[in-house]
């Protein structure tokens, strides 16, 4: 299966020269291509034919050249284009990015051009040559550019297209902003001729740490790699096998990572004279009956759902400071868990969750009704999951892989998601599979969780908007939920909209009072829910949504945040915070 996933990655994701996705890109030796890039907006896609990627300065006065990067618009990388220039707020289409940089490549080194994410389709050229193309807006990709890099000035051109298409993931309709651009950092990474490409170091239970290491490059077999975890007194040398891999376990008794004790160990991997550092937490996660066990102990997930938007205002979040603010707010709410909706968030979010002690639900954008009958789309889903796993496999915080959100209950959908779940389990048996499900059977006094796909996941996620999209808030309090499965359930979404600062009677929709009323009644409902092992209300803060046009209230914001788009608390924030305090006091 691993080989199969690898083939898919090669075919769909990263074409020539690329090895498997490099583990731990932030801590490699690198130059980041950040700051201002030149940008040409190309709504009619003329750039391919006119060869924008060959740009080598403005043409002479007697030559017709209808483009010039030097005097073009400037866009900051990383960053979405929509919030950088008001002309691009609604834009969906192609933008050509251009940057020159100085390099001093050394003869026996290798160079990867590594993109943390580009939304959605990226075609990359270095010094006029196409080095590869990548599809998918929220996961990293890389191209080996050793052969095309020159000493001195180099040019990189990226054609970015964020037009929505039927066979994309996500597809035509989403309830979030389709931010386009090079939304996360770009890195030129320098590697030795032979280098540590991939690794996973994790707690396998029973006082043992499992270690998997893979080398890439010139000579991968029979190489010595030193693994050291100074705090645990570990300093061991291992030799790679014929395939350039090491698989081993080490006896150790680490302090186990948990929200109460988010301890991370400095782990060092050394090949020849190059040492790679990482901070890794050790923990176990499993399901027993309807319980979730973290390090063998029952845990209740006190959570909040989060979109990857800047803490103050709109635009894609990407920095460490953004992550610290957003997740700091989750901590202030009393959370021990966060749902990163609806796509892989930037790596800073994952590393910050590790550091702050927040368990993570991580998700791919298999959202609503994608082309479940299209095998190419299934390959894309596997590719996006594979890239997310490659990047995040060493993050203790990630306990749940979510493979879908609110998908229609049809046989073709269930077959698609069952195969995807199988791939996820085969490639990462150390975490749990979940999905947000919103189809249940209505009973006389509530709902029955009984759809087939709920039988496939380890943890059932339920999205339920009782009191908002249907029924009065008070009816929700009388709801009785039942489940046909003996499995843990998380209410992965519930909530209501409110424009922060709008105070009125509690039957005025969109007032803070109405939102509070929905919350209060939903909490009564949750107390009666069987198998409930966690909640992540929808959501931390208001976010941009093209589907939310109501003037004066929504203004293209989804107003279901507990915080306004500027981070100001609404009444419902305090209701949720108090509930979490009670849960905590009750030892949950």
Binding site for ligand GCB (CB under 6 A): 175, 342, 405-406, 463, 493, 538, 558, 560
Task: Indicate the length of the chain as a whole number.
Answer: 588
Q: Which is nearer to ligand GCB, 158 or 305 (CB)?
A: 305
Q: What six digits make up the tokens of 236?
A: 């061991």
**Upstream peptide bond of 342 is cis (omega within 30 degrees of 0):** yes
- Interstrand relation of 94-103 and 35-42 (parallel, antiparallel or unpaired): antiparallel
Angle between helices 512-527 and 571-585 in degrees, nearest 10: 20
Q: Which is nearer to ligand GCB, 184 or 342 (CB)?
A: 342
CB distance 295 to 283 below 8 Å:
yes
Q: Which residues pair with 266 in a beta bridge?
A: 279
Q: Which is nearer to ligand GCB, 23 or 405 (CB)?
A: 405
- Nearest distance from C-beta of residue 448 to ligand GCB, angstroms: 19
Q: Which residues pair with 181 in a beta bridge?
A: 119
| Region of residue 3 (left: phi > 0; alpha: psi -120 to 50; beta: else) | alpha
Integer Cα distance of 85 and 36 in angstroms: 13
CB distance 362 to 428 below 8 Å:
no
Residue 354: how many other CB atoms lie within 10 Å: 22
CA dist 229 to 196, 199, 280, 281, Å?
Answer: 17, 15, 10, 12
Residue 251: how many other CB atoms lie within 10 Å: 9
Q: What are phi and psi of 203, to 5 degrees?
A: -80, 125
In sequence order, what DSSP letters do the residues of 6-67 get, joined into one string?
A: HHHIIIII--SS--SPPS-GGGSSEEE--EEEEEEEETT--TTTTTGGG--SPPPTTS----
- Nearest distance from C-beta of residue 341 to ligand GCB, angstroms: 6
Integer Cα distance of 157 and 168 in angstroms: 23
Integer Cα distance of 348 and 321 in angstroms: 9
CB distance 189 to 30 below 8 Å:
yes
Q: Which is nearer to ligand GCB, 137 or 259 (CB)?
A: 137
CB distance 74 to 36 below 8 Å:
yes
Integer Cα distance of 480 and 325 in angstroms: 37
Q: Which is nearer to ligand GCB, 203 or 368 (CB)?
A: 368
The residue to which tokens 């960053």 are assigned: 79
Q: Which H, E and C letters describe 234-266, residue by residue? A: EEEEEECCCCCEEEEEEECCCCCCECCECCCEE
Q: Which is nearer to ligand GCB, 125 or 468 (CB)?
A: 468
């Amino acid at each position: 299966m691993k080989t199969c996933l690898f083939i898919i990655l090669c075919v769909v994701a990263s074409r020539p020269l690329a090895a498997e996705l490099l583990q731990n890109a932030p801590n490699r030796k690198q130059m980041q291509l950040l700051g201002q890039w030149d940008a040409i907006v190309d709504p009619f896609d003329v750039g391919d034919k006119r060869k924008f990627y060959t740009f080598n300065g403005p043409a002479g006065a007697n030559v017709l050249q209808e483009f010039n990067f030097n005097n073009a618009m400037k866009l900051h990388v990383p960053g979405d284009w929509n919030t950088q220039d008001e002309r691009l707020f609604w834009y969906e289409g192609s933008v050509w990015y251009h940057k020159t940089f100085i390099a001093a490549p050394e003869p026996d080194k290798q160079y990867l051009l590594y993109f943390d994410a580009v939304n959605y389709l990226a075609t990359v050229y270095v010094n006029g040559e196409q080095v590869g193309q990548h599809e998918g807006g929220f996961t990293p990709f890389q191209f080996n550019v050793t052969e095309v890099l020159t000493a001195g000035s180099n040019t990189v051109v990226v054609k970015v297209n964020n037009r929505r298409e039927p066979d994309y993931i996500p597809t035509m309709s989403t309830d979030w902003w389709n931010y386009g651009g090079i939304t996360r950092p770009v890195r030129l990474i320098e590697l030795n001729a032979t280098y540590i490409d991939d690794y996973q170091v994790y707690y396998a239970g029973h006082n043992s740490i499992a270690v998997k290491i893979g080398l890439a490059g010139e000579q991968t077999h029979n190489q010595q790699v030193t693994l050291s975890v100074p705090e645990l007194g570990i300093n061991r040398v291992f030799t790679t096998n014929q395939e350039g891999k090491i698989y081993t376990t080490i006896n150790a008794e680490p302090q186990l990572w948990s929200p109460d004790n988010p301890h991370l160990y400095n782990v060092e991997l050394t090949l020849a004279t190059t040492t790679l550092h990482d901070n890794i937490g050790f923990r176990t996660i499993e399901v027993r009956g309807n319980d979730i066990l973290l390090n063998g102990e029952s845990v209740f997930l006190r959570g909040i759902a989060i979109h990857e938007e800047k803490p103050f205002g709109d635009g894609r979040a990407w920095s460490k400071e953004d992550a610290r603010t957003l997740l700091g707010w989750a901590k202030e709410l009393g959370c021990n868990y966060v749902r990163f909706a609806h796509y892989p968030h930037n790596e800073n979010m994952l590393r910050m969750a590790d550091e702050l002690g927040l368990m993570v639900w991580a998700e791919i954008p298999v959202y609503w009704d994608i082309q479940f009958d299209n095998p190419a789309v299934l390959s894309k889903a596997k590719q996006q999951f594979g890239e997310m796993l490659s990047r995040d496999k060493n993050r203790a915080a990630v306990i749940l892989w979510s493979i879908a959100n609110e998908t229609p209950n049809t046989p073709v959908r269930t077959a698609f998601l069952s195969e995807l779940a199988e791939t996820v389990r085969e490639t990462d048996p150390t975490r749990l599979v979940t999905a947000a499900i919103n189809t249940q059977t209505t009973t006389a006094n509530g709902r029955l969780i009984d759809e087939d796909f709920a039988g496939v996941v380890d943890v059932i996620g339920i999205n339920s908007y009782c009191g908002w999209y249907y029924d009065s808030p008070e009816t929700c309090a009388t709801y009785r939920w039942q489940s046909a499965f003996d499995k843990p359930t998380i209410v992965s979404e519930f909530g209501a909209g409110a424009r922060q600062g709008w105070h009125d009677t509690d039957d005025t929709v969109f007032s803070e009072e109405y939102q509070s009323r929905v919350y209060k009644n939903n909490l009564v409902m949750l107390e009666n829910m069987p198998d409930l092992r966690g909640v992540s209300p929808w959501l931390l803060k208001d976010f941009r949504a093209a589907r939310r046009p109501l003037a004066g209230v929504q203004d293209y914001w989804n107003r279901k945040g507990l915080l306004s788009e500027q981070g100001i608390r609404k009444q419902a924030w305090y209701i949720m915070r108090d509930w979490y305090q009670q849960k905590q006091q009750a030892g949950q």
